[in-house]
Amino acid sequence: MKTMKLFRITVLFMVLFSASATLLANQLADSVVKPTHWTLSSCIDYAMKNNITIKKSVNTLQQSRVDTKQAKAALFPSLSASTSQGVTNQPFGGNGSYGSSFNSGSTNTYSGSYGASASWLLYNGGKNRENIQYEQLLNKIDELNIATSRNDIQISITKAYLQILYAIEAIKINENTVATSKATLDRGNELLSAGKLAKPDVAQLESQYSQDKYTLIQSQLTLSDDKVQLKQLLELQGSDEMNIDVPTLSDDEVLTPLPSIEDVYQTALTFMPEIKGSGLSTEAAKLNEKIAKTGLSPTVSLNAQVETGNNNQSSEGLFKQLKNGWSNYLGVSVSIPIFDNRSTKSTVEKARLATESSMLDEQDKKKTLYQTIESIWQNGHSYQTQYVAAKEKYKSTKVSFDLVNEQFNLGMKNIVELTTQKNDLLSAEQSVLQAKYMTILNAELLKFYNEQKITLN
C-alpha cells in the first residue's frame, strides 16, 4: 500500500515537473530581448530575427532541402517486405472444387506467405542525377529568396523609421507654432485692453491658436500611426513601448555627394539576390529542359524477389515448408518509349518555352533594378537641391516674420499680415523638413544598393 502511494506521488511529481519545464521553455522562447531605445540598426537587427515573412522563407528552404534528399535517395535501390496470413473455411468439407467427393464435416485451412522484393533503376537517361542538380539549384534560389525578404524588410524599416523621425520633428515645429500663437494671443489681449486692437481681431487670434493646437494633435496621432507600422514590421505588440533614438544629422550629412548611377548599378548586379536568383532560375529552366528530354530515353531496371509460404494442412513441419517453398527471382526490365500521344514532346516544348521566359525575366529584373537605382538617384539629387533652396527661403521668411511680429506687438501691423507671415514661416519649415528626410532616405537607399550598411548612427 505504501509502495503504491509512493508510486503515485512520484508520477504526480514527474507530471508537474514536466508541465513546469514546458511552460518555462515556452516563456523563454517568447521572451526576446528588446532594446530600450530603438535605433535604425537595432530595428533592422531585431527584424532579421523575428519577422514572420523571413521565417516563412526559411521554412520554404527547409522544405526544398527535403526534396533534395528525396532526389538523392532515388539513386539507390528500393526494398520492401511483405507477408499475408489467412484462414480458409470449407463448412461442408471437400477440397472446395466442383465435382469433388463429398466429405462430411467442415475444414479450416491456415496459410501464410512471406516475401521481399527489391528494385533498382539502373538507367533512365540521366534523369535522376539531373533531378538532384535541379533540386540543388532550387535550394540556392530559396536561399536567395531569404536574402530578398531580408532586403525588402530592411528597406521597409528604413522608410518607416525615417517617417517616424520626420513626424517627431514635425511635432516640434507644431509645438513651436502653438507657443508662438499663444504668445501672439496674449499680446493681442494686451492690445485689446489698451484699446489698440478690436475684439474681432482677438477672436481671429483665438481661432488661429485653436487651429494650431489641432494641427499639433494631428501630428502626434501621425507619429503614433507611424510607430504602429514599424511595430508591425518588427512583429511587436501594440502595447510594447517604443522609444525612438533621434540621431543628429548635420547639413554635411544631408548634402553628402551621391555616387554615380552606373557605379551603384554595377555594384548591385554583383550582390542583389533577385539578380543572382533570376540567373539561377534560368539555369534551372535549362536543366528542367534536359530532364524533360530524358522522357525520350529507355529505362532499365533491376528487379529481385524472394518468397516462401506455409500451410497447416501440409504433413511437413513449418521450417521444412518454408525451406521447400523458397523461391528466388532476379530479372532486368527494359522500357522503350515508342508512342505516348505526344506527351513527352509537349513537355519538352513547354520546358523550352519556360527557359526563354526565364531568360526574359532575368533581363527584366536587371532593367527594373537600373530603373529603381536611377529613380532613387534622381530623387536624391532633386531633394538635395530643394533642401538648399528651402533653407535659404526659411532664413528670409524667418527674418520677415520676426520683423512683422515685432511691428504687430507695437501695434504697427494688423492681424492679417501677421497670420500670413506666420503661415509662410510654417510652410518654409515644413519644406526644409520634408526635403531633409527625403534626401536622407534616398541617400540611404543608394548606400544599400551600393552594398553598404544602412545606418544613421
Question: By percentage, how much of the chain surpasses pLDDT 90?
Answer: 70
Query: Is residue 13 scored above 50 in pLDDT?
Result: no
Same domain (yes/no): 267, 318? no
What local confidence, expressed as pLDDT, does residue 95 receive? 54
Q: How confident is the model at residue 428 (pLDDT cuts 50, 70, 90)?
A: very high
pLDDT digits (tens, 9 = 90+) for 275-314: 999 999 999 999 999 999 999 999 999 999 999 998 888 8
Same domain (yes/no): 230, 311? no
Flag whether 16 is in a domain.
no
Lowest-pLDDT choice from 248-257, 325-334, 377-386: 248-257
Same domain (yes/no): 292, 399? yes
Same domain (yes/no): 321, 212? no
**Do residues 230 and 202 touch, judged by C-beta distance below 8 A?**
no
Same domain (yes/no): 110, 190? no
Type of residue numbered 303: N
Flag whether 278 is in a domain.
yes
| Domain end position, chosen among 318, 336, 354 | 336
What local confidence, expressed as pLDDT, does residue 87 receive? 87
Same domain (yes/no): 59, 180? yes
Same domain (yes/no): 310, 403? no
Query: Is residue 66 scored above 50 in pLDDT?
Result: yes
Judged on CB neighbours under 10 Å (0-12, 13-18, 19+), 90 is middle
Same domain (yes/no): 411, 433? yes
pLDDT digits (tens, 9 = 90+) for 169-188: 999 999 999 999 999 899 88
The full 3-state SS of the chain, as one line of letters, equals: CHHHHHHHHHHHHHHHHHHHHHHHHHHHHHCCCCCCCECHHHHHHHHHHHCHHHHHHHHHHHHHHHHHHHHHHCCCCEEEEEEEEEEEEECCCCCCCCCCCCCCCCEEEEEEEEEEEEEEEEECCCHHHHHHHHHHHHHHHHHHHHHHHHHHHHHHHHHHHHHHHHHHHHHHHHHHHHHHHHHHHHHHHHHHHCCCCCHHHHHHHHHHHHHHHHHHHHHHHHHHHHHHHHHHHHCCCCCCCCCECCCCCCHHHHCCCCCCHHHHHHHHHHHCHHHHHHHHHHHHHHHHHHHHHHHHCCEEEEEEEEEEEEECCCCCCHHHHHHHCCEEEEEEEEECCCCCCCHHHHHHHHHHHHHHHHHHHHHHHHHHHHHHHHHHHHHHHHHHHHHHHHHHHHHHHHHHHHHHHHHHHCCCCCHHHHHHHHHHHHHHHHHHHHHHHHHHHHHHHHHHHCCCCCCCC
| Domain end position, chosen among 336, 362, 384 | 336
What local confidence, expressed as pLDDT, does residue 268 receive? 96
pLDDT digits (tens, 9 = 90+) for 442-457: 999 999 999 998 887 5
Same domain (yes/no): 327, 406? no
- Average pLDDT, whole number, for the chain? 88
Flag whether 6 is in a domain.
no
Flag whether 26 is in a domain.
no
Flag whether 8 is in a domain.
no
Query: Is residue 2 scored above 90 in pLDDT?
Result: no
For the record, the C-alpha cell of 433 comes out as 523638413
| Structural domain boundaries enclosing 325 | 84-94+102-123+298-336
Flag whether 5 is in a domain.
no
Same domain (yes/no): 279, 371? yes
Flag whether 61 is in a domain.
yes
pLDDT digits (tens, 9 = 90+) for 114-162: 999 999 999 999 999 999 999 999 999 999 999 999 999 999 999 999 9
What local confidence, expressed as pLDDT, does residue 8 receive? 52
Same domain (yes/no): 309, 212? no
Lowest-pLDDT choice from 101-105, 222-226, 415-419: 101-105
Flag whether 12 is in a domain.
no
**Do residues 233 and 47 touch, judged by C-beta distance below 8 A?**
yes
Same domain (yes/no): 377, 440? yes
**Do residues 368 and 424 touch, judged by C-beta distance below 8 A?**
no
* Separation CA 142–CA 133 (nearest Å): 14
Query: Is residue 5 scored above 60 in pLDDT?
Result: no
What local confidence, expressed as pLDDT, does residue 32 receive? 57
Query: Is residue 104 scored above 90 in pLDDT?
Result: no
Domain tally for the chain? 2
Query: Is residue 198 scored above 90 in pLDDT?
Result: no
What local confidence, expressed as pLDDT, does residue 168 receive? 95
- Find the CATH number of the domain harbouring 410: 1.20.1600.10
Higher pLDDT, 412 or 81: 81
What local confidence, expressed as pLDDT, does residue 70 receive? 94
What local confidence, expressed as pLDDT, does residue 457 receive? 58
Beta bridge pairs of residue 120: 302
Query: Is residue 3 scored above 90 in pLDDT?
Result: no
